A and B are shown apart, each in its own frame.
Chain A
Amino acid sequence: MSDKPNEKRRDFLQLSTISLGAVGTAAFMWPFLKSMNPAEDTLALGSTEVDISSIEEGQSITVKWRGKPVFIRKRTKEEIDEARTVDFADLKDPAKDVDRVQKEEWLILVGVCTHLGCVPLGQKMSDTKGEFNGWYCPCHGSHYDTSGRIRKGPAPNNLDVPPYNFLNDTTIRIG
């Protein structure tokens, strides 16, 4: 046999061995890397299901999610209108109200002020709700409107909207 076909054969064998080994190593590493992702029981703690059937219009409740308070408010018609008629481009952190809710009457927010992390007032009926009828942070006086957007005060951003979805009409799942 001449030299040339043999060399081709050797190149082919070497290349196929290396590539098969690379594929095998990658497949072997996959479960190891995956095992470092959050485990099932950790993920189960990471989401909360909330029954919202008992909340009347204008009321809000606070639930705990990943150690943080989450505000769930069933907004009245006036509050929705108030949030939608504002010219959002003039706001400090411009955001449309429609982008911040999935169903217009249900407003779900992480109840942590974006300034220094206090919990704003406005959940109880007797609380002061600030100048824009939403939430008011007592620490440094940030005012949030009926969409949880920052309107006045030192806070730089709107109240965060957590990831959530409606399981049915009366249950939401946060996280």
Chain B
Amino acid sequence: MNHSSEPRKYKNPVLNWIEFRLPIISYFEREYGEYPMPKNCNYFWSFGALASILLIVMIISGIFIAMNYTPHTDMAFDSVERIMRDVNYGWLLRYIHSNGAAFFFIIV
């Protein structure tokens, strides 16, 4: 099972196994570690990271409120009321999602 072409970049063999099949580790190293920071960088550069973090937050909160939402004309309103009143932290998840949508526009 020893591929001669398999690189031995890392000490951990699991990392090497993943890296050989999906070079995601070197990708992150390259993008976030080695890539030089522009000297004239200002705070506007953080909007890219903000947008990508917010995208992840929106996906996660969307999945979690979808778990308690009923997409039906007769039941949708009641299910939203239930999210706001009965589901633990449901109000927080819904507000994260709605404010996150607004902040998406601001960031873009």
Contacts and interface: CB of A to CB of B under 8 A. Distances in A.
Interface stretch (A2-10, A36-44, A77-85, A111-119): A36-44
Nearest to A41: B86
A39 B93 contact: no
Nearest to A37: B88
B64 interface: yes
B85 A32 contact: no
B88 A34 contact: yes
A41 B88 CA distance: 10
Interface residues of B, number: 15
Secondary structure class of chain B's binding surface, majority of residues: helix
Interface residues of A, number: 11
Interface in A27-57: 28, 31-32, 34-37, 39-42
A60 to B, nearest CB: 34
B59 to A, nearest CB: 12
A58 B68 CA distance: 46
Closest 10 CB pairs of A and B: A31-B89, A40-B86, A39-B86, A41-B86, A34-B88, A39-B87, A35-B89, A31-B92, A35-B88, A34-B89
Given A35-B90, A36-B67, A40-B86, 14 more contacts: A28-B57, A31-B88, A31-B89, A31-B93, A32-B93, A35-B67, A35-B87, A35-B93, A39-B68, A39-B87, A39-B88, A40-B85, A41-B86, A42-B86
